[in-house]
A = this chain, B = another copy of it.
Amino acid sequence: MNLTLVGVGLIGGSVALDLREKKFAKQITGVETNPTHAEQALKLKLVDKIEPLERAVKDSDLVIISTPVNTICKLLPEILNFIGDRTTVTDMGSTKEMIALSILNHKRAKQFVPSHPMAGTENSGPQSAIRHLFNGKTAVICDKEKSGQKHLQNIESLYGALEMRCIYMDSKQHDMHVAFVSHLSHISSFILANTVLDIERSASTIFDLASGGFESTVRLAKSSPEMWMPIFEQNQNNILLALDAYIRHLEHFRSTIQEKKFSETKQILSQANEIRRVLDTMNVKGKK
């Protein structure tokens, strides 16, 4: 099939690598407004050609939008205006409600299948694309009853080729869950980095003392502000809920330290240990 990637960065580029390997895509056309990224995508053979949006999507079999979420909201209605009857469109954004709203009542809304592959790294751009980024992980498909049957099947085949497991939920549910399980991890990491950078004015203390523990916890703080700011903007209400819950838990932990209630402190740590069982189950399941 003819595939169009709108946005050829970490996600789009990694999709290209795997879909070529699986011979899922015969020809891959890229749409990329950043000239450096466009050049890199061609050089790395992630895409066969770079074209302007209208020409690239018009007769495509499958259009995948993997840009920051604010750009998805802007481009999605335009793309639906450009395509014919046969094209299927999906996006890979980390929010879903605002994107759904951007094409409410559009006559081609049934050709769009909102999705979110739960995979990524802290890097961005086509040079960060890696093979098998998606393997064994979960893809969320939202509001499936609103998409046409054939288009839904096309997106399920896409995720099948990426060796992902599909799960289904509505946009509202999706945005609430990812605020806690994904967005809050990023915030805790961004803010940890800032807190430490702020106090440790001499960078040398940080790198003298940062053992593997610090490095893995702040890894996500390296993530792109261009990608994450729009996510926090679009998921504002859920982010506020998640942050309030996190701050509440931190304040409670703080009070056990302040008031020397250390048996309570220990109980909090033991509760957190439960995450080991949850993640081990996940990894066993992922490997199946």
* B-binding residues in A (CB < 8 A): 118-122, 137-138, 140, 167, 177-178, 180-182, 184-200, 203, 205-223, 225-226, 228-229, 232-233, 236, 239-240, 242-247, 249-251, 253-254, 257-258, 260, 262, 265-266, 268-276, 278-279, 281-282, 285
The interface residues of chain B lying within 8 Å CB-to-CB of A198 are: 245, 249
Least CB distance from A270 to B in Å reads: 5
Q: B181 contacts A192, CB within 8 Å?
A: no
* Distance of A195 Cα from B258 Cα, bound (Å): 20
* Distance of A79 Cα from B213 Cα, bound (Å): 31
Q: A275 contacts B197, CB within 8 Å?
A: yes
Q: A213 contacts B220, CB within 8 Å?
A: yes
Q: B222 contacts A273, CB within 8 Å?
A: yes
Q: A233-B262, A254-B247, A266-B229 are in contact. Are A118 and B195 (CB under 8 A)?
A: no
Please name 28 pairs of A and B residues whose Cβ atoms are closer than 8 Å in the assembled complex, sorted by A.
A118-B211, A119-B211, A119-B212, A140-B209, A181-B210, A185-B217, A189-B272, A191-B250, A193-B274, A197-B274, A197-B278, A198-B245, A199-B242, A210-B278, A215-B279, A216-B219, A218-B279, A221-B276, A222-B276, A225-B269, A225-B270, A229-B269, A232-B257, A240-B258, A243-B250, A243-B253, A243-B254, A246-B250
Q: A272 contacts B221, CB within 8 Å?
A: yes
Counting every copy of the chain, the complex holds: 2
Least CB distance from A252 to B in Å reads: 9
* Distance of A155 Cα from B233 Cα, bound (Å): 52
The interface residues of chain B lying within 8 Å CB-to-CB of A223 are: 269, 273
Query: A209 contacts which of B178, B203, B246, B275 (Cβ < 8 Å)?
Result: B178
Least CB distance from A181 to B in Å reads: 4
* Distance of A260 Cα from B268 Cα, bound (Å): 33
Q: A247 contacts B247, CB within 8 Å?
A: yes
* Distance of A257 Cα from B233 Cα, bound (Å): 7
Q: B191 contacts A177, CB within 8 Å?
A: no
Q: B233 contacts A214, CB within 8 Å?
A: no
Least CB distance from A262 to B in Å reads: 5
